[in-house]
Amino acid sequence: MLAIELGLFAVAVPAVLMAGISKGGFGSGAAFAGASILALMVPPGQALGIMLPLLMLIDVSTLRPYWRRWSWRDARRLMLGGVPGVALGAALYKVADADLLRLLIGAICFLFVGWQIALRAGLMRVAARPLPGWAGVLAGVVAGFTSFVSHAGGPPAAAYLLSQRLDKTTFQATTVLTFWVYNIVKFVPYAFLGIFTAETLLIDLVLAPVAVFGAWLGVRAHRIVSERAFFAVTYVLLTLTGGKLIWDALT
C-alpha cells in the first residue's frame, strides 16, 4: 500500500506545480519532471499513475486559453503516430521491472537536458526547411512511447514542431491539444495495467488544486516570464533527478 506521508507531499507539490507551469506556458517540454521527481519517492509505476490524472486536469485547464489557436495539420500528424507509440510503451511496461523504468526515466532526463543544451549552444540546429509529414508521424510514435513510460513526449514533438516555424502561441496551443489526446489514449492501458490504485487517486484529489493553480500560472507566465529562466531551473532539477534514478536502478 502506498503510504501517504508528509515527505511525499513535500516533493509532490512543487513537482506538480512545475508540471502545471510547463504545460500551461512552455510547450509541455518539462512537464515530465513531475513524474521523474515523484519516482524518487515512490515506485516509478505509482509515480506515473499519480501524475496522469493531474496532467489530464492541467490539459483541461489550459485548453480554453489556446482553443483553436493550434496548427491542426501538425497536431494531426503527431496524433497519428502517437497511438502506435502508446501501444509500444504499454507493451514495454508489461515486461519491465521498476529498475528498468528508473533507468529509462533517468536516461530520458539526461537526453532531454543534453538536447536542450545542444540547441542553445548551436551544436544542433532546427531544420532549415519544415520537416515533411512523415517526420511528424514518426515524431509522434516516439512521443507517444516516451509519454507512456515517463510522461516525456515533449522533446520529440517539439523537434518536429520547431521545424514548422510556428509562432510561440501556435506552438504552445498545438502541444496542449496533442498531449491532451495522448493522455486520454494512455488512460485506458494505464487502467488495465493496474497503474491506478485507490491510493494514487486519493493523492490526486489532494494535489488537484495544485495542478490547476500551476496551469493558471503557466498561462500567465507564457506572456511575461523568460523561458530561459524557467528551463534553467528545470535542467538542474532534471539532471539531479536523472542521476539519482540511474544510480538507484544500477545499485
47 located within any domain:
yes
pLDDT digits (tens, 9 = 90+) for 77-132: 999 999 999 999 999 998 888 888 888 888 887 887 787 777 777 666 655 577 78
124 lies in a domain? Answer: yes
Structural domain count, the chain? 1
Contact 108, 32 (CB under 8 A): yes
In angstroms, rounded to a whole number, what is the distance separating the alpha carbons of residues 240 and 161? 28
Is residue 91 assigned to a domain?
yes
pTM of the predicted model as reported, rounded to 2 decimal places: 0.80
CB contact set of 220 (below 8 Å; sequence gap of 6+): 25
Q: Which residue has the cell 539519482?
A: 244
Quick: pLDDT tens for 34-73: 777 788 888 888 889 999 999 898 888 878 877 888 899 9
Residue 177 lies in a domain: yes
* Residue 111, C-alpha cell as written in the block: 537526453
Q: Count of residues for the chain?
A: 251
User: Residue 7: is it exposed, middle or buried by C-beta count within 10 angstroms (0-12/13-18/19+)?
Assistant: exposed
The whole domain housing 242 covers 6-250
**pLDDT for the residue numbered 28:** 53
Measured at the CA of 79, the angle between CA 212 and CA 63, to 5 degrees, comes to 25
Residue 1 lies in a domain: no
- 29 vs 125, more confident: 125
How far apart, in Å, do the first and last CA atoms of the chain sit?
Answer: 24
Domain-located, residue 126:
yes
Residue 231 lies in a domain: yes
Q: Is 59 left (phi over 0), alpha (psi -120 to 50) or beta?
A: alpha
